[in-house]
Amino acid sequence: MFAQPWPEPLAELIEMLKNLPGVGKRSAERMALSLYLWDPAKLEALAGNLASLHTRIHACPECGNLSDAPDNGACGICSSPVRDRSIICVVEDVAQIHSLESAGVFKGVYHVLGGRIAPLEGKFPESLSIPRLEARISAGGIREMILALSQDIEGQATAVYLANRFQGRGFAITRPARGLPAGSDLTYADSATIALALDARTSLNRPNEQEDTPR
């Protein structure tokens, strides 16, 4: 006994929706059926939106962030007059720019690497936008490069690679501190986080009475 298959167009749509992150077969079926019940005008608007996604959005030629500026122009951050161009924060993906921006603290500019050095996933330095980063740095005026990469071993290796590569170029190379999340209770932190937080502890001595500085 075989279940009655979906009509071909719907089956095709379901297959496509299944490519979205977090969407399995069941969710894709529900989405497809719900789309079918939409008002045709609304569906058309959605289709238009999807079809023109790549003509309306492109990667910023400066940093790799998403940009909707006309004529392949730079993104909002790169073209903003108030951002500090002497500090570059290197991230793996566009999504991380949004997380960092939501904190509202960072006033520098970004550089999207497009991944990390992960040979097992087929990612090597050549697959990343390092030449573009090199060009931006060679243009001069950089005071600091922040390597905001993931904490897994591939992210650590990528940070080491970039730090070695840009060593001695006259600017600071840093990475964000690791440790306890703000507003959380020590009781509920996992052991790896506590270890990192203890490793990177900061002194509360007044500057003039500093004796043993923590490592």
Binding site for another protein (CB under 8 A): 117-120, 124-125, 152-154, 156-158, 160-161, 164-165, 190-192, 195
Q: Cα–Cα distance between 77 and 2 in angstroms, integer? A: 55
Q: Torsions phi, psi of 144, nearest 5?
A: -150, 140
| Cα separations in angstroms, 97 against 65, 104, 109, 176 | 8, 11, 10, 14
Residue closer to another protein, measured from CB, 106 or 166: 166
Residue closer to another protein, measured from CB, 51 or 198: 198
Q: Which residues contact 25 (CB under 8 A, 6 or more apart)?
A: 14, 18
Q: Cα–Cα distance between 129 and 117 in angstroms, integer? A: 11
CA-closest candidate to residue 78, choices 109, 106, 103, 100: 109
Beta-bridge partner residues of 66? 59
- What is the smallest separation between the CB atom of 15 and another protein, expressed in angstroms? 19
CA dihedral (78, 81, 86, 91) positive or negative: negative
Name the amino acid, one letter, at 125: P
- What is the smallest separation between the CB atom of 120 and another protein, expressed in angstroms? 5
- What is the smallest separation between the CB atom of 155 and another protein, expressed in angstroms? 9
Residue closer to another protein, measured from CB, 84 or 134: 134
- What is the smallest separation between the CB atom of 197 and another protein, expressed in angstroms? 13
Greatest Cα pair distance, the chain, in angstroms, is: 83
Residue closer to another protein, measured from CB, 69 or 189: 189
Residue closer to another protein, measured from CB, 36 or 124: 124
Residue closer to another protein, measured from CB, 15 or 121: 121
- What is the smallest separation between the CB atom of 20 and another protein, expressed in angstroms? 17
- What is the smallest separation between the CB atom of 16 and another protein, expressed in angstroms? 22
CB 68 within 8 A of CB 77: no
